[in-house]
Structure 1
Amino acid sequence: MNHSRNRAASPQGARGPRRRLAATVAITAAALAFSALPGSAGAAPLSHAPDGARTTGALPQIKAAPRPGSGTVHLSPGQRRRLLGQAADAAAGTARALRLGPQEKLVPKDVIQDADGTVHTRYERTYSGLPVIGGDLIVHERHGGARTVTYASEKKLTLPTTAAKVPAATAKKAALSKAMAKGTRKAATHTAPRKVVWMLGDQPRLAWETVVTGVQQDGSPSERHVVTDAASEAVLENAEHVESAQGNSLYSGQVTIGSTRQDDGTYALIDPQRGGHRTLDSSVTSNGVLFTNDVDVWGDGTAANPRTAAVDAAYGARTTWDFYLDRFGRNGIADDGRGSTSRVHYEQQPGVPLANANWQDGCFCMSYGDGADGHHPVTSLDIAAHEMTHGVTSSTAALGEYGESPALNEAISDMMAAAVEFYADNPNDVPDYTMAELDDLHGDGKPIRYMDLPSKAGISSVGYAPLDYWTPQAKSDEPHMAAGVGDHFFYLLAEGSGQKTINGVAYDSPTYDGLPVAGIGLTDAADVVYRALTVYMTSTTDYAGARTATLQAAADLYGSGSAAYEAVANAWAAVNVGTGYVHHIAVEPPPTEPVAVGQPVRRQITASSSRPGALSYSAKSLPRGLSIDHATGLITGTPDKAGDYSSAIVITDATGDTRNLSFTWTALESGGHFFVNPTTYVIPRWGTAESPLVVRGKPGSAPSDLKVTVDLDHGFSNAMVIDLIGPDGTVIHVKPWGPWVLTPELHETYTVDASAITTVGTWKLRVTDGTPGFYNLDPGHLQRWSLDFSGTGPAVTTDSPAR
């Protein structure tokens, strides 16, 4: 694990004590009554005591060790600030009492108070304004008693000069070379070398300290502090500040995690390299207690050891942080360098383990349960990455809680969880396109989600099966189930369709349109999704919006004419979202519902190319009376003969590539007593749709029992109000609002008295959406309608309208 030595930075960034024996001295209470000291006088000279501490004059020695039972007490932020402020006010007097030189100053760094009232104040030291490495000290002040001091170095601090002979650039070059020689890969410096005073050798020296970052041989981050003599260029220290020890996880084997050594010598699961991420034990309290240990080795690889789950959670947080930083330059979940918190062994209520895991914005934390049986911590790497990605989404697009946005939110967390697994490439948790395959959330030994074919997971505990392809159900489905649409898209984008074996796992991913999809690789797929999420998605983005966002992201990254751009569109088309490219041409499904003899037709072929230049259109075997505009793809005309036509549309791009669309197009008989308009019209939400119907024949009045047959779909079809408008503008009410029953479709024949209206002319059917405002349903569709002028008697309501 990553372990930060107990080093304290001065205002200039100076580092604290190295591993050297410290000296403890005792001084009188009067000596630290700073306000009573004259400007140039202080306590009696310090001398060595028999036990190695230094004491003043004839005063008895007081050991620095605290009395039994005087453990540290919690200081509120206000109490801590107050004690540090008092120490800062007294710092000059403290320096004089300690007989420091006139160029030396003390800067309070930290303060701790014991239960018996003892206050321990940690100071950093400067010399002529330069940080002093190895010059820190701690003043221990007992309540009502003597004070003692612990020094990092006993040497007297003097320098002949603070002017460096060796230039900073030379020191930097030497530092990079020395760091690489010690095994640091990708060595780099992001800050200039800083001038310091080195007090850890045989004598104080003026030096340069250069921080070299990179990667250690085991993959851990590297932060080497290379100190070179400012007079001779000799290397005084080449120390790795990120040490690696081991954590024994349940799912990922022996791993590296972040920890920090505390003042009492114990270790805590605080990752200093990743924003101070903390791992807490929530089996003690729901808020959690920081995991600590006497040694810097954590867990034993079994669920029985409570620290094992902590290792998995800390490893997941570390790996996910590194993934986002390395791949996207993102500095933590919120991109502000702030670490989150992991809480393991979380319970729904006392004694009832949480069977899942979650992310919470309020606490900026992940909570991991121990599974339904309390023996399977839900802490595998993909779960951790999934939960942390919820935090990333919250900090960026903030996908909302309505419509398809929650499903998209879950899907993006699954996408990035897969990407993190492949980034980690841990042999104990082989990267794959399944979720929670190691956690056994359902107790059946199976993953909870399969990205190549989500429906393989079967019926969930909430009674739904994951969606393989988009349907209108995605808007109202349980988000984890509707996430299958996004999961499937991502797998297809990364790996493509069909049968294949990846890391020993067999996949077989089909497509909605039956067309093959070529993947672009997981790295590029993750790049597209991350850019779309952080740059183009909003709180209301649905799957159609996600398609638009990812296409724009692909255009940004690879160009709108690239294979990657087309692959994004094809992967979405493969899950029934939008259109895909064939021969570089994408086309909306042609409007092939029947036409009717004598009824004007206006149908638009909508297509695009990933290549520059205009498209041209041609057609074969359209219903007689129709033609296509070669420049716009608009089909117009009036069919004059009924029948089934084997039609074809040919679209050609500027380079000569073509795409052919073949389909059967039916022209219905419409005339005599029966007239039909089979063209689909959208019924806008809370709006109105009007469909025309041209009636030809002998002049005269319509019958008193005119039959009006209507076919429409809407989530609340009974809320549709239907009117018939005669050629002269007369309005006849066909269907009122109601009844109050949610029905998805309406197929009815109504009888109205139209005897006052002339038959010949253009009739219109008007459908008004009367859905109450508190319903947020999708637009409906007037699929077709017809008029029967035969006048055969009273209306007969049927489910199958006359054709």
Structure 2
Amino acid sequence: MNSFSSGRVFPQGSRVPRRRLAATVAVAAMALTVSALPAGPASASGGSGNSRKAAALPQIMSMARPGAAIVDLSPGQRRQLLENAAKAAPETARALRLGTREKLIPKDVIQDADGTVHTRYERTYAGLPVIGGDLVVHQHKGAARTVSYASTAPLSLPTTTAKVPAATAKKSALSTATAKGTRNAGAHSAPRQVVWMAGGRPTLAWETVVTGVQQDGSPSERHVVTDAASGTTLENAEHVESADGNSLYSGKVTIGSTRQDDGSYALIDPDHGGHRTLDSTVNSNGVLLTDDDDVWGDGTAANPQTAAVDAAYGAQTTWDFYRDSFGRNGIADDGRGSYSRVHYEQQQGIPLANANWQDGCFCMSYGDGADGQHPVTSLDIAAHEMTHGVTSATAGLGDVGEAPALNEAVSDMMAAAVEFYADNPNDVPDYTMAELDDLHGDGKPIRYMDLPSKAGISSVGYAPLDYWTLQAKSDEPHMAAGIGDHFFYLLAEGSGQKTINGVDYDSPTYDGLPVAGIGLADAAKVMYRALTVYMTSTTDYAGARTATLQAAADLYGTQSDTYESAANAWAAVHVGNRYVDHIAVEPLPTEPVATGQPVSRQVTASSSRPGPVTYSAKQLPLGLTINRTTGLITGTPDKAGDYNSVVIITDAAGDTRRIPFVWTVLASGGHFFVNPTTYVIPQWGVVESPMEVLGKPGKAPSDLKVTVDLDHEFSNAQVIDLIAPDGSVIPVKSWGPWVLTPELHETYTVDASAVQARGTWKLRVADGTPGFYDLDPGHLQRWSMTF
């Protein structure tokens, strides 16, 4: 684990977080061809809210696809599909309208029973790897192809010549890694030139892999990405997924071994890709464990083979779970076994109180606990770590935003699923992590999936999140993983009090409404398909919701209870919208309006039943009406006051959902005019808010008062102008000063005496945040003018 101590459309007025979901778009059926083999033996609420062009999502198929089951491909079939994809890559790139300097490199492929092929590609630009540019092509048999993108931003660079030399980037990376706690830091190899796209816009950069030792003694493989033009550090992420723990026995188990020429036995598992278990007591690389009688360990920590038994058992059980549940042939789906190192030390003579997965060696390393007497080899830890390997081989959830937290959560989800699959009486299946390890010396698990915050304050100074908030983007990944853990528990078991295998659970929901569980097996199926078919390196929680709903639609159909339960489980952790009476409604745009100011507010709803929805309303502010077909509320309010409004949505099946709310109309006119509608300020973009000024003949005053209320992580970097009715631009606020200010509430005096007062004025806000920052969009909350 990364240390085991481990959409929706936003109404104007909503606080909109950054969205990194993998947008999915359709491409012309005749334009894209990838050969497929015959079948052998799809709140954080994530509005886009930024300047990146977001691709429209296709309508999710309403009926389950019986052919959505993943085919168990033979190594030869998988290899053939990848070879076909590689041959077709240039044509595929043209069909996707990629630039002439872009190329696609197949990474993974999955085939459904109906012949649909999902091919995962990495991307290069002018021969440079593009980090955060991955995509998945879904070739649907007999239908249009669709694509899931990690980023839909145009990929182009003014130059591929770095201003910052590689040597300078390497020195900076080593310094950065050391500052982050990496001991004995050294560059694994020379920095490689890349295009960094995970931050939202393509940037020429250097990637340096710094190796060393983490503070807890685990190996360190830190990837530092440096802007090749400015030298700024764009990303600094640890890639060794590690876990704190003490020990857990699995009782008497059968593990795989291989007889050697000398008659002894080696801990090499021939039935699981040749997985090897090594003893790292002599050196960190490990020495293959051997035995004369093929009876390994004695169930006590005093016997050095016992930890090896647990590690081997964890590896084979996790392999079997993925094979039997999803037809996956090993961690990378290529039949290749990993290897495990037990008794791993953080340095000579000092045991590692941890465990980790490392992509670089395709291996797990297990320490013996802080006291050297508690091997960190529990089944859920092993399954968690190896699931990091599965994620790396598929979606590749990266190091930006919420993707690392989602990576951790997926490993927790599958670790729970492996426990229930094994059904080992010595480790009764549950929804807690490391429950028998006594990791913190308090006899408690380190994570609770039914209510993550129950774990309390962690060593990083935070408690796990139960629900999505803006904090999820920047929180420590294991803490933000609580959102995904909670979702999965609710999806599998539902909300409220219950006892499972003797363990008591009581899972609440963000909105206080119940969630019906679908069972662990089906929950795991939905998550696995979402991970391997639809998620990409930049997927966040909003994107995970989209991916799981598409997966649920593929497997069970949008009219199924499973589909609605998936949506409602996400809503229960404050991600997306809930279905009530089969109807889901985006949060209503109900911030105040003002008399004399035209209103255009969109109500958006959907039904899990086929057919369109219709809209009606009661007691809207005078002057406003709602379009029955589109749900658009328009008009100009003509009387101030509070209105007890009700919006009513009806689907084609006759289901009805009523949403009451109080809608306030402010007085605007005379000498004071206000537009209280909130507008999203796109990252590195521009937004304009209009205001009608009526009944004011003559020129505007030389001391016009302009009051602005906005929020942004760098509100000082917002440049504000007033656009007069004749198009004249009147500066209101320039860029700066460069002081961190999350909100701006100011009244400015401007000279508008050269223009007429009457007409449509606009306030224009341009985001001047430096390009190397990747931030949440801000919001122009309201503005007013006093004449």
Q: Which residue of 2 aligns with 1:302?
A: 300
Q: Deviations over 1:44-93 (max 9, x none)?
A: xxxxxxxxxxxxxxxxxxxxxxxxxxxxxxxxxxxxxxxxxxxxxxxxxx
Alignment of 1:598-677 (within 5 A): 598-677=596-675
**Corresponding residue SS for 2:687:** strand
Higher Cα radius of gyration: 1
Deviation at 1:304, TM superposition (A): 2.1
Quick one: which amino acid aligns to residue 357 of structure 1?
A
- Aligned counterparts of 1:729 and 1:523: Cα–Cα separation in 2: 61
Distance 2:600 2:336 in 1: 58
Match of 2:257, SS state, is strand
State the SS of the aligned residue for 1:255: coil
How far did 1:433 drift? 0.6
TM-score (norm 1): 0.66
Give the one of 433, 436, 440 matched to 2:434. 436
- The aligned residue for residue 713 of structure 2 is 715
2:418 maps to amino acid = V
Q: Which is further off, 678-687 or 751-760?
A: 751-760
Task: Describe how 1:660-699 pairs up with structure 2 within 5 A.
Answer: 660-699=658-697
Specify the alignment match of 2:549 in structure 1. Answer: 551
**SS in structure 2 of the partner of residue 529 of structure 1:** helix
Query: Residue 318 of structure 1: SS of its match in structure 2?
Result: helix
Is residue 519–residue 567 contact of structure 1 (8 Å, CA) maintained in 2? yes
Shift of 1:606: 0.6
Question: How big is each residue's C-alpha offset from its partner over 1:646-686, in whole Å with a ceiling of 9 and x where there is no partner?
Answer: 11111000111111111111111111111111111111111
Residue identity in the other structure for 1:702: A
Q: How does 1:763-774 map to 2 (within 5 A)?
A: 763-774=761-772
Contact 2:248 2:436 in 1 (8 A): no
Once the two structures are overlaid, the 10-residue window that deviates more, 505-514 or 751-760, is 751-760
Matched, 1:379 2:377: yes
Q: Output aligned runs, 1:365-444, within 5 Å.
A: 365-444=363-442
Q: Which amino acid letter does the alignment assign opposite residue 422 of structure 1?
A: F
The residue that corresponds to 2:338 in the other structure is: 340
Counterpart-to-counterpart distance in 2, 1:509 and 1:540: 29
The answer to whether the 8 Å contact 1:561/1:611 transfers is: yes
Is 2:716–2:739's contact at 8 Å kept on the other side of the alignment? yes
What does the per-residue CA deviation read over 1:482-507, in whole Å, with 9 as the maximum and x for residues that have no partner?
A: 11111111011001111111111111
Equivalent position of 2:518 in the other structure: 520
The question of whether the paired residues in 1 share the 8 Å contact of 2:706 and 2:747 is answered with yes
Counterpart-to-counterpart distance in 2, 1:703 and 1:776: 40
Residue correspondence of structure 1 range 357-372 to structure 2 within 5 A: 357-372=355-370
Q: Secondary structure at the match of 2:364?
A: strand
Partner of 1:535: 533
Structure 1 unaligned blocks of 5 or more? 1-248, 790-803
Q: CA deviation at 1:713?
A: 1.5
Is residue 461 of structure 1 aligned with residue 432 of structure 2?
A: no
**Which piece of structure 1 moves more, 258-267 or 477-486?**
258-267
Highest relative contact order (Cα 8 Å, sep 6+), 1 or 2?
A: 2
Note the C-alpha offset of 1:698: 3.2
In 1, the alpha carbon distance for the partners of 2:502 and 2:350 equals 37
Give the aligned partner of residue 701 of structure 2: 703
Q: How does 1:138-153 map to 2 (within 5 A)?
A: none
Q: Is the 8 A contact 1:250 1:301 kept in 2?
A: no
Query: C-alpha distance in 1, partners of 2:523/2:248?
Result: 30
Equivalent residues in 2 for 1:124-163, closer than 5 Å: none
Partner of residue 265 from structure 1, selected from 256, 263, 266: 263
CA contact (8 A) 1:376 1:440 kept: no
Deviates more, 1:262-271 or 1:766-775: 262-271
Report which stretch shifted further, 344-353 or 637-646: 344-353
CA 657–711 in structure 1, closer or farther in 2 if over 3 Å, else same:
same
Aligned-residue offset at 1:622: 0.8
Which secondary structure state, in structure 1, belongs to the residue aligned with residue 412 of structure 2?
A: helix
* Structure 2 Cα separation of the partners of residues 443 and 365 of structure 1: 28
1:493 aligned partner: 491
Q: Which amino acid aligns with 1:524?
A: D
The alignment partner of 1:346 has SS state of strand
Distance 2:585 2:502 in 1: 37
CA displacement at 1:326 relative to structure 2: 0.7
Distance 1:522 1:293 in 2: 38
- Is the 8 Å Cα contact of residues 585 and 604 (structure 2) preserved in structure 1? yes
Alpha-carbon deviation of 1:420? 0.2
Letter of the aligned partner of 2:600 in structure 1?
R
- d(CA) in 1 for partners of 2:537 and 2:389? 14
Where do 5+ consecutive residues of structure 2 fail to align? 1-246
Q: Which residue of 1 aligns with 2:322?
A: 324
Q: Quick one: which of 467, 479, 482 aligns to 1:481?
A: 479
Correspondence for 1:278 among 243, 263, 276: 276
| Pairwise CA distance, 1:371 | 2.2
> How far apart are 1:705 and its partner, in Å?
2.1
Deviations 1:742-769 (A, max 9, x none): 2222222222222222222111100000
Counterpart code for 1:374: G
Aligned to 1:353: 351
Q: How many residues align?
A: 541
In the alignment, is the contact (CA less than 8 A) between 2:367 and 2:375 conserved in 1? yes
> SS at the partner of 2:708?
strand
* TM-superposed deviation, 1:378: 1.4
Q: For the Cα contact (< 8 Å) 1:372–1:441, is it kept in 2?
A: no
2:445 equivalent among 447, 463, 466: 447
* AA of the residue aligned to 1:333: I
How far residue 593 of structure 1 moved from its aligned partner, in angstroms, is 0.5
In 2, are the aligned partners of 1:377 and 1:439 still within 8 Å (CA)?
A: no
Deviations, residues 10-66 of structure 1 (Å, cap 9, x unaligned): xxxxxxxxxxxxxxxxxxxxxxxxxxxxxxxxxxxxxxxxxxxxxxxxxxxxxxxxx
Give, as a single letter, the amino acid of the residue that structure 2 aligns with 1:400.
Answer: G
Tell me by how many angstroms 1:296 deviates. 1.7
How do residues 190-229 of structure 1 correspond to structure 2 at under 5 angstroms? none
Any conservation in 2 of the 1:686–1:771 contact (CA below 8 Å)? yes
CA distance in 2, matches of 1:771, 1:374: 50
For the 8 Å contact 2:248–2:376, the answer to whether it is kept is: no
C-alpha distance in structure 2 between counterparts of 1:694 and 1:643, whole Å: 19
Q: Deviations over 1:239-263 (max 9, x none)?
A: xxxxxxxxxx942211121112222
* 1: CA distance, partners of 2:255 / 2:310: 9
The percentage of aligned residue pairs carrying the same residue is: 84
1:638 to 1:322, Cα distance in 2 relative to 1, 3 A: same
Task: Give the residue type in structure 1 aligned to 2:656.
Answer: T
Q: Which residue does the alignment assign to 1:597?
A: 595
Query: What TM-score does the superposition give when structure 2 sets the normalisation length?
Result: 0.68
Per the TM alignment, residue 283 of structure 1 is displaced from its structure 2 partner at its CA by 1.8
Query: Are 1:511 and 2:509 an aligned pair?
Result: yes
Q: Identify which range, 390-399 or 299-308, moves more after superposition.
A: 299-308
Deviation at 1:422, TM superposition (A): 0.4
- Tell me the residue number matched to 1:173: none
What SS does structure 1 have at the residue aligned with 2:430?
coil
1:368-399 Cα deviation digits (max 9, x unpaired) = 12223332221110000000101111111111
Q: In the TM superposition, what whole-angstrom CA distance separates every residue of 1:176-204 from its partner, at most 9, and x where no partner exists?
A: xxxxxxxxxxxxxxxxxxxxxxxxxxxxx
Letter of the aligned partner of 2:320 in structure 1?
A: D
Deviation at 1:441, TM superposition (A): 2.4
**What does residue 782 of structure 1 align with?**
780
Aligned match for 1:254, one of 240, 252, 255: 252
Q: What SS class does the counterpart of residue 754 from structure 2 fall into?
A: coil
RMSD: 1.2
The Cα shift of 1:308 comes to 1.2
CA–CA separation in structure 2 for the residues paired with 1:495 and 1:303: 35
Task: State the shift of 1:510 in Å.
Answer: 1.1
Equivalent residues of 1:260, 1:272 under 8 A apart: yes
**Does the CA-based 8 Å contact 2:449-2:486 persist in structure 1?**
yes
Determine the structure 2 residue equivalent to 1:76.
none
